Structure 1
């Protein structure tokens, strides 16, 4: 392997794959992509239902745990992050979601020039290959395939009708700037197979002589001298290598990995670094701060007289029929994203746009990785899209393989607690509508005994869990306190950028994978413009 490159991209997830593709499109620029995980050659990465076998699996997941969360009644949560080429796009729910126009216009109002909805929409369209063709909101011919789900469930149709009876309109497309309403999610799949960032961006580029991809590469630190990044030190194959960078290093290791790597390199809060034994290179107080995540409240209901996945997946015959359907048609439950029906609405009318998102599933289980319940049931998982709670990600010690301390700080504000209680009340109101009455829904999570505000907040703490959308830990901003500026350049360190969900100043109102891809598109555009 060469020992110097024009660009070094750290992290082979969604953003890293896109950056490697876009930067290596210039044949005169050499690009090194470093990924700590392995190749995406695990069968369960590609079968959509395989997320059940990838999350919590050290082959594909970092298997992080949060610290004990006071807002979750002292519970510690599993905190999945992709540890494989393709990153979270190889293990996530495959939902194609941009968020709301309001999200990006807010970024622009916060001083992030060039990040408004009108600025970023062309970037979403550039990489998109939308099944229904191009229009003013969608693109075709890009790398990021978007298709409709390949199956429907009567119980989900009934829930959608019940939501309409509760005053929530139907919509056919969540990705036109205002996602309020109900619809089946569109997914990143091609003919019933997961379409991850490797297939989309790395495979078309891997033949390029100027692109080098190294897996199993654990970055120890950035090589920073006199306020400038000169390269990267990483371990691979039992060797420790220093690789020089002629132009820029781009961190694309995600909202957990990117701040962790900055701190390992001596960029962060002095007291945090001193406690871990890392010499301070640059004091940056906000590195690892501003963590935001969507907390899902998994409300579950037993039903009767209607089919759910629980009973089909609980018998050998049912499992065999599911496998056969997928083998023959690439459809059925094995082609399912974790959630099929989406609903965006407001917890109360005072919110300008939808502040709640439902992921509705024709199944119930205690937690991901465990079997479904033996009785028919559905889950209406609801999350606060714009939480006020802020947490942190910080290193524990100077060993790069050690897990960081993750503190999401869920439900730590009065508004977040009120929205959580209102979300459970709204779920009950939807389920009480006539469309679901024939199936006699019976709430068992959190359970009917939780009624007043304090009890509902306690219930939210008992059933709440991450929906895998961490963001914000390398906040972008126009102010000097931000970690990166609107060009994604790390303040105080030359030739270093961050391009992943960690730069979001405020989390988007929906799933975060495709917004992360958009961030990578914009980063690549800015980087190439800087070196023309």
Structure 2
């Protein structure tokens, strides 16, 4: 049984559970259905050509971007092979579908992690999308980017051309921004910088038609404790407190890879999409050039009929953090010892394939406002008159039901947390190898030490957030660790290479991660104790007023934290080969020809942001790099 975010009710404390319930039960009935004509180039296996210029493995978020851009040239043929199916449920494009409220099991892979010692041997939830459009189909629609420092870190790790100034054009290329309605912007002091941050791209970034009145007090409280406030996070200033739009169109429907990239390209005669098929391996010739993929219908036995499809120019893996490294390993690219144990012939010994796994571990702290303003999020379930008004407004696509999770974020720099000097000292002086996966080679240990040194040198900077707190008027929130030092793995199941990989997040293995979370809880309590908050009379309900010492807080963290929030990445990292890199800065896989990666697995160090917008930028840049390689 899949371990997921709902696996124990301590994860959803009362105010957060109430918010989840109201989002899940309201607003979903006024959806719309995708028209069948938009799937014109969806094909069956017998309609597939035997050869294409490009094969894109994965029709998730990144794969649809790459396929769209490559098929812009009518003289190039493109095949996309996707394990999942289309999700035509009208509710899935509504704000009420926001993660973590709605996670359709049919849109997810059935994978579990191994028990996590840092979570008292609970399983870490595995969130990997199996649906056309990938994670953009089921995520929370929080459409933010990391700070400039987040991406400059990548460049410092040996990846020229991947800093903020190089990625900003691709963020802009992928996105079109619509300002909030003027009255709402004035009332809540919503700020943005469209000229610096946005372009004219396929994905729509928009603010909802509503914010809760309590939010004004929350903003005042952040200012009171000295949290830096920025005008626009998407312009490279995603640290401190800032506003961020949602990935929704002007009718407040989900704007995602399917609507933005697939639908406009779906009638192109040079673009084919095959759904419901698994890619087994990439095939290579004697010169180690990728020439084809083998595929078979999903949910069939491993010995079922297979089809081989050739690629004359390039194969691009966009199968995500979980399956891109798995396909590489099944194809003979990965850590030698693991491949030999699994009986896979080693083509290229790449120790980094399937290692370096990172996500954003999360914890919920909960409060109750005894004297909350009206209306507030609870009014949608506790006040029938207000709920009826909200539903009437939503018929006209207005009002509270246009909201997703949040449009207000604090990504707190380490220097805003209590005891940050102690955290830094522990990070520099600890025995690094003791906290890394046992499968790590000496080269991989060296690679992590390089990562750690880059991260710790960046931590004292104000323009670099390490932990996130969302706020939208509700008293409780997620506290999310954005820059963990723990590293995990996703490695071949050696007894069945076609089964889901063995996934180990190693959540909280590095004690620095827990120290940062403890300091963040202290910061949150300080925020709730401000003069501004007195009007709301906040009372902590979880972990509770009796949980005060570091040891007590850590015990609560281990009992209730989750391994991530669906931002898993970094398992086929872009970095120098001598630092266990898997792909070069041009995203080609080391040691072979004609194979590249265009998804979130190439990220070397997880950015302090919800990853959706970053995936679009990576995939847009990947498409340009591929086009440049095959310009003649």
Distance 1:53 1:437, change over 3 A: closer
Equivalenced residues, count: 517
Which has the larger displacement, 457-466 or 312-321?
Answer: 312-321
The answer as to 2:541 corresponding to 1:444 is yes
Is the 8 Å Cα contact of residues 99 and 140 (structure 2) preserved in structure 1? no
Q: What is the alpha-carbon distance in structure 1 between the residues aligned to residue 498 and residue 130 of structure 2?
A: 12
Task: Give the Cα–Cα distance (whole angstroms) in 2 for the partners of residues 399 and 7 of structure 1.
Answer: 29
- The answer for the alignment partner of 1:127 in structure 2 is 174
Number of the residue aligned with 1:371:
none
- How far apart are residue 264 of structure 1 and its match? 2.3
Alignment of 1:16-95 (within 5 A): 16-51=63-98, 55-95=102-142
Structure 2 CA distance, aligned partners of 1:17 and 1:453? 46
The answer for the alignment partner of 1:176 in structure 2 is 235
1:509 alignment partner, SS class: coil
Aligned partner of residue 44 in structure 1, secondary structure: helix
Match for residue 499 of structure 2? 402
Contact 2:470 2:478 in 1 (8 A): yes
Residue 416 (structure 1) aligned to one of 513, 525, 546: 513
Equivalent residue number for residue 118 of structure 1: 165
Could you tell me which residue of structure 2 aligns to residue 503 of structure 1?
A: 602
Cα distance in 1, alignment partners of residues 542 and 344 from structure 2: 45
State how 1:112-511 maps to structure 2 within 5 Å. 112-132=159-179, 136-190=195-249, 191-226=251-286, 227-236=288-297, 240-306=306-372, 307-310=375-378, 312-313=380-381, 322-333=390-401, 335-349=402-416, 351-352=460-461, 353-362=464-473, 378-397=475-494, 402-465=499-562, 466-480=564-578, 481-511=580-610
> Is the CA contact 1:54–1:91 (under 8 Å) kept in the aligned structure 2?
no
**Structure with more of its chain in helix, by fraction:** 2
Task: Please tell me whether the aligned partners of residues 380 and 427 of structure 1 are also in contact (alpha carbons under 8 angstroms).
Answer: no
- When residues 236 and 115 of structure 1 are mapped into structure 2, their CA distance, relative to the original with a 3 A threshold, is same
Q: Distance in 1 between matches of 2:322 and 2:477?
A: 28
Counterpart-to-counterpart distance in 2, 1:242 and 1:16:
20
C-alpha contact 1:97 1:514 (8 A) present in aligned 2: yes
Distance 1:158 1:460 in 2: 28
Cα deviation, residue 354, structure 1: 2.4
- Mean CA deviation greater in 413-422 or 311-320: 311-320
Q: CA deviation at 1:29?
A: 0.6
- Aligned residues of 1:446 and 1:459 also touching (Cα < 8 A): yes
- C-alpha contact 1:193 1:330 (8 A) present in aligned 2: no
Conserved 8 A contact 2:52-2:79: yes
Shift in alpha-carbon separation, 1:150–1:66, aligned structure 2, 3 A = farther
- The equivalent of 1:369 in structure 2 is none
Summarize deviations over 1:156-204 as a string: whole Å, max 9, x none.
Answer: 3322221111111333311121222323431110021000111111111
CA deviation map 1:137-161 (0-9, x unaligned)? 2333211211113321123332222
Deviation string, structure 1 residues 209-252 (Cα, Å, up to 9, x no partner): 10001111211221233322111111238753110010111111
- Residues 379 and 87 of structure 1, relative CA distance in 2, 3 Å threshold: same
Q: Does the residue aligned with 1:233 lie in a helix, a strand or coil?
A: strand
Give how far 1:450 is off: 2.0
- Does the residue aligned with 2:132 lie in a helix, a strand or coil? coil
Q: Distance in 2 between matches of 1:64 and 1:393?
A: 11
Relative to structure 1, the CA distance from residue 291 to residue 122 in structure 2 (aligned partners, 3 Å threshold; closer, same or farther) is same
- 1:123 deviates by 1.3
CA contact (8 A) 1:287 1:473 kept: yes
Instruction: Quote the Cα distance in structure 2 between the aligned partners of 1:508 and 1:152.
Output: 27
The worse-fitting range, judged by mean Cα deviation, of 15-24 and 383-392 is 383-392
- Deviation of 1:380 after TM superposition, in Å, equals 2.1
- Show structure 2 runs of 5+ residues with no match: 1-47, 180-191, 421-459
Distance in 2 (CA, whole Å) between partners of 1:402 and 1:379 is 38
Deviation at 1:399? 5.4
Quote the RMSD (CA, aligned, Å). Answer: 2.3
C-alpha displacement at 1:316, in angstroms?
Answer: 7.7
Please tell me whether the aligned partners of residues 473 and 502 of structure 1 are also in contact (alpha carbons under 8 angstroms).
yes
Q: How far off is 1:437 after superposition?
A: 1.8
Task: Specify whether residues 78 and 321 from structure 1 end up closer, same or farther in structure 2 by C-alpha distance, changes over 3 A only.
Answer: farther
Structure with the higher fraction of residues in strand conformation: 1
The answer to whether the 8 Å contact 1:128/1:138 transfers is no
When residues 401 and 159 of structure 1 are mapped into structure 2, their CA distance, relative to the original with a 3 A threshold, is farther
C-alpha contact (below 8 Å) 2:319/2:599 kept by paired residues: yes
Question: How far apart are 1:385 and its partner, in Å?
Answer: 1.9
Larger C-alpha radius of gyration, 1 or 2? 2
SS state of the match for residue 233, structure 2? coil
Q: The residue matched to 1:59 in structure 2 has which SS? A: helix
Find the residue that maps to 2:166 and give its secondary structure: helix
- In structure 1, runs of 5+ residues without a counterpart are 364-377
Q: Normalized against structure 2, the TM-score is what?
A: 0.77
Counterpart-to-counterpart distance in 2, 1:51 and 1:240: 37
The structural deviation recorded for 1:311 is 5.1
> Which deviates more from structure 2 when the two are superposed, residues 184-193 or residues 59-68?
59-68
Measure how far apart 1:87 and its partner are. Answer: 0.3
> CA separation of 1:113/1:417 partners in 2, compared to 1, >3 Å: closer, same or farther?
same
Report the equivalent of 2:40: none
